[in-house]
Amino acid sequence: MKMIILQDILYVSLLIGLSIPLGIYIYKVMTGQNVFLTRVLAPVEYGIYKLMGVKSDEEMGAKRYALSVLVFSGIGFIFLWLIQLFQGVLPFQQAGIKGTSWHLAFNTAASFVSNTNWQAYSGETGMTYFTQFTGLTVQNFVSAATGIAVVFALIRGFVSKEKKTIGSFWVDLTRTTLYVLLPLSMILAIVLVSQGVVQTFGPYKQVAMLENGAVQTIPLGPAASQIAIKQLGTNGGGFFGANSAFPLENPTALSNLLQVLSILLIPASLCVSFGKAVKDSSQGRVIYIVMMFFFAVSLIGVTASEQVSAPYFSGAAASASMEGKEVIHGAGASSLWAVATTAASNGSVNSMHDSFTPLGGMVLMFLMQLGEIVFGGVGSGLYGMLAFVLLTVFIAGLMVGRTPEYLGKKVEPYDMKMVCLLVLVPPLVTLIGTAAAVSIPAASSWLTNSGAHGFSEILYAFTSMGNNNGSAFAGFNADTVFTNLTGGIIMLLARFIPMTAAIYLAGNMAGKKTVAGGEGTLSTSDTMFAGLLIGVIFIIGALSFLPALALGPIADYFTM
């Protein structure tokens, strides 16, 4: 247990230590300042603008910015959908893999375009190399870049004064991809290759087994390049079906540490970027502290549950609950990864979440059900958290009978309508999807388990899709027409309705005057506000999902 505690302390220390300089770097990139890569990448950046016909100093209003996001994502969706349908006749065909069904292609396209990366297929048997690196990896980059672009549009809304514009989506997208995601991904991919993560276009290998001479097929592929951006961009889609529990995707303790660190690195860094952008580091710090509070409490809860609630075999207690976990990682590293991946909208796994104890699995579900705001997805986690900040400010204003303000901007009815879309759409589509699934008689055939745990499998699946996560309990058969279509629609709604609301919120904030704070102005950078924000987040999550959790993991715990 001491080693697990030291491991977690090391992880948090590395995360904080790396996120501060990276956050400052991202702030400089997104505000057009020179960085150490400017001399090398500036010609490439301006060449891209020229190719697209974009002016680097041209800005957009909220409507045009939102339209650009939706059109760009829509084109990517169609492109990825077609690639999957025709992958059987496209190049880089490694194992006779044919095109997918139309509904699986729809689900996967929606999944990767929305930065969810929910997978109803196994990568080594369902997708060709061409689909993986041309379709999925590209979306890993641009969907992550889109999230970062939108959060900076919202930040400009807070800092601008009586402006009608919030920046250029094309400039934000280019800078994020070129200066942030590509360099980090290249570095991480090279290090992962050094650890044994496979990166090749060679065919699958046939290997004779030592024990009985049977032939086993070893899947290969250009995996390291996708794994790097899947973690850094909080995408999470595994190159192989077993995701980061597969030896060729995550072979060593060092590769495990680097991957799980990458999951939260950019989301944590954006809190620092936010503080720099609004010229008040304490504003970013309080958000960082609240996120870290939820993360730490969840990590303690899951780790304790997996260590203490170990099953009994033949009258002897195991040292930890190891079912569904890789021996190389153990319960401690598996718990850390599970909490990180569900706190962020990542979804990659290094263990089977279906095998976690009922209370451990409940914490993982609840982290997603909070709205993926405990660090959350790159960009989307921060603008989701800022929605809760505005909601908290609004509630505090109602308590004292004063017009709520945040960063010198009055929070008015239109702003709260956008906040409600940001906060309520994910739980709404999650619960509707779950209710629709359990009402179908065929649902029982999709499950590995029955009873409360079977319901948990369904609830977890739609929680994951409805909150742009992508992880699964692994006992749920998702490749059906119903789940592919319903899940795809849910993923698109849960991504783009809140994203559009964030953009229009940014536009409305940008057009306002800045008012000077007075004695009655609520401080949004002290301990009291942090506590109030934690309470609001917890209450919203508890009110939305406590009845469903009672039917699933809580009932599972009392009947295990």
Give the pLDDT confidence of 59-116 residue by residue, as tens digits. Answer: 999 999 999 999 999 999 999 999 999 998 998 887 788 999 999 999 999 999 999 9
Reduce the DSSP state of residue 406 to 3 states and report it: strand
Per-residue DSSP letters for 224-277?
Answer: HHHHHHHHHTT----SSTTGGGSTTTS-SHHHHHHHHHHHHHHHHHHHHHHHHH
pLDDT grade for 448, boundaries at 50, 70 and 90: confident
Question: Does residue 477 lie in a domain region?
Answer: yes
pLDDT at residue number 450: 84
Question: Does residue 553 lie in a domain region?
Answer: yes
Cβ atoms of 503 and 153 within 8 Å: the answer is yes
Looking at the DSSP bridge assignments, the partners of residue 410 are 405
pLDDT grade for 195, boundaries at 50, 70 and 90: very high
Rounded Cα distance, 45 and 544, in Å: 44
Question: Does residue 36 lie in a domain region?
Answer: no
Least confident of 357-361, 418-422, 518-522: 518-522
* All residues at 6 or more sequence positions from 20 whose CB lies less than 8 Å from its CB, including other chains: 269, 272
Rounded Cα distance, 438 and 16, in Å: 42
Question: How many Cα atoms occupy the beta-carbon half-sphere of 38 within 13 Å?
Answer: 11
pLDDT at residue number 318: 54
Rounded Cα distance, 292 and 47, in Å: 40
pLDDT grade for 268, boundaries at 50, 70 and 90: very high
- According to DSSP, residue 460 is labeled H
Rounded to the nearest angstrom, the gap between the alpha carbon of residue 126 and the centroid of all alpha carbons in its chain is 23
- Report pLDDT digits (tens) over 519-556: 677 889 999 999 999 999 999 988 899 999 999 999 99
- Report pLDDT digits (tens) over 337-352: 999 999 998 989 999 9
Q: Which of 203-212, 374-383, 467-476 reaches the highest mean pLDDT? A: 374-383
Query: What's the total number of domains in the chain?
Result: 1
Rounded Cα distance, 409 and 401, in Å: 17
Question: Does residue 382 lie in a domain region?
Answer: yes
- According to DSSP, residue 57 is labeled T
Between 150 and 55, where is the model more confident? Answer: 150
Amino acid present at 176: T
Question: What mean pLDDT is predicted for residues 268-276?
Answer: 97
Nearest to 237 by CA among 351, 157, 121, 368: 121
450-460 as b/e, with b when 16 or more CB fall inside 10 Å?
eebbbbbbbbb
Least confident of 207-211, 329-333, 361-365: 207-211
* All residues at 6 or more sequence positions from 220 whose CB lies less than 8 Å from its CB, including other chains: 94, 198, 200, 202, 203, 204, 205, 248
| Segments forming the whole domain that contains residue 404 | 378-559
Give the pTM.
0.94
Rounded Cα distance, 511 and 101, in Å: 47
Cβ atoms of 465 and 110 within 8 Å: the answer is no
pLDDT at residue number 309: 66
Question: Does residue 423 lie in a domain region?
Answer: yes
Rounded Cα distance, 199 and 346, in Å: 22
Nearest to 155 by CA among 22, 59, 276, 286: 276
Nearest to 137 by CA among 102, 106, 107, 177: 177
- Report pLDDT digits (tens) over 207-249: 888 777 788 888 899 999 999 999 999 998 888 988 899 999 9
Question: What mean pLDDT is predicted for residues 27-36?
Answer: 95
- Report pLDDT digits (tens) over 37-48: 999 999 999 999
Least confident of 112-121, 306-315, 522-531: 306-315
Element (H, E) at 292: helix 281-308
- Report pLDDT digits (tens) over 57-70: 889 999 999 999 99
Amino acid present at 244: S
Q: Is pLDDT of 184 > 80?
A: yes
pLDDT at residue number 310: 56
pLDDT at residue number 492: 96
Write down the mean pLDDT value for the chain: 91
Q: What whole-number percentage of the chain has pLDDT above 90?
A: 71
Query: Residues 371, 115, 443, CA angle at the centre, nearest 5°?
Result: 70
Q: Is pLDDT of 312 > 60?
A: no
Question: Does residue 167 lie in a domain region?
Answer: no
pLDDT at residue number 211: 74
Reduce the DSSP state of residue 386 to 3 states and report it: helix
Tokens representing 341 are 């991946």
**CB neighbourhood size of 353 (10 A):** 23
Query: Residues 168, 65, 61, CA angle at the centre, nearest 5°?
Result: 80
